[in-house]
Chain A
């Protein structure tokens, strides 16, 4: 059965800290892995990672896929209070189903 496991479940840090969020998966046929940020309402897209293993970066956020380890990490450097959110990892399977992890709740204290 395809599944996605995110860790840690929650995290509290201070502004300026660097955080690493983890996503591990099991899938019979991998297409891509996506990261989303969810604040009060709809998830918003951060990154899409494919088999190429290329690191994706956007400002203070970066993410990379390790296909050998069946995992991905999302790094946030110099965290700000506006980074407080739930971060979701999603797997796109071979049958075009999306499987989401339960998310990591990040709280950044001023």
Chain B
């Protein structure tokens, strides 16, 4: 089944403890991206990647890191999480964006709580 898989689905952690949220897709998509969703603010893009070893900042990259060493994986790293990073996170992927066959496909989300 074609899908974007995020892990974990739920995560509670403490301030300053490094964590990684994994994202993997099996559709051979070039484009991958991370979003956070907060009430009243909608979905905001954190980072995106056009292909392997190519990453760019979205609108809210502060406090996050990403890497794209393989086409299928795009992990999100929080080196020193803070309570303001408590949010619902989505990973998404697509073929090169802007083409008719390339809408974003979303994972099921990771709910992160930082205390």
Contact = CB atoms under 8 A, between A and B. Distances in A.
* Interface size classification for chain B: 20 to 34
Contacts of B100: 48, 50
B104 A97 contact: no
Interface string A63-92: 000000000000000000000000010101
Interface stretch (B15-23, B41-49, B65-73, B75-83): B41-49
Interface residues of A, number: 23
A41 B31 contact: no
A97 B45 contact: yes
Interface string B25-44: 00000010101000011111
Contacts of B8: none
A99 B97 CA distance: 13
A30 to B, nearest CB: 10
Contacts of A98: 33, 35, 43, 45, 48, 58, 97, 104
Contacts, number: 65
A16 interface: no
B97 A100 contact: no
B106 interface: yes
Q: For the complex, would chain A's binding face be called helix, strand, loop or mixed by DSSP majority? A: strand
B105 A97 contact: no
A60 interface: no
A47 to B, nearest CB: 9
Contacts of A96: 31, 48, 50, 56, 97-98
Given A42-B108, A48-B102, A101-B42, 6 more contacts: A42-B90, A42-B107, A44-B106, A92-B97, A97-B58, A98-B45
Interface of A: 31-32, 34, 36, 41-45, 48, 50, 88, 90, 92, 95-103
